[in-house]
Amino acid sequence: MKLLQPDILKKLIQHDKSVTFAINMLDQHWSNVIAKYGPQTKIDAPTVVMAKQLADSGCFSKPINFNNYAEVQKYLIRNDVYMGVTGKQELLKPFKE
């Protein structure tokens, strides 16, 4: 478990859009984001990075093990319609290095 950085805590307290997006990604409720921001809103790289940080802190549920290729693939398949190109790339990045 890692502590959240002060800037992320500030965003969390302020209900920053980036944190809202990340929480909805973790909870697999991206439809909430689409309802508010429109169907063009996709899960992008910054959202994935924030979601990983929140999940690593232990403050939020983690639907997948971001270090397990099979789990990441299942997540991508289930949420393909919501994924942007950079979001997919960020999720798969640890497996391409």
Q: Is the pLDDT of residue 4 over 90?
A: no
Q: Is the pLDDT of residue 1 over 90?
A: no
Q: What is the pLDDT of residue 3?
A: 87
- Using one digit for the tens of pLDDT, what is the confidence trace for 43-92? 999 999 999 999 988 887 777 899 999 999 999 999 999 999 999 999 99
Note whether 84 and 44 are within 8 A (CB): yes
Note whether 93 and 73 are within 8 A (CB): no
Note whether 1 and 57 are within 8 A (CB): yes
Residue 94 pLDDT grade (very low, low, confident, very high; cuts 50, 70, 90): very high
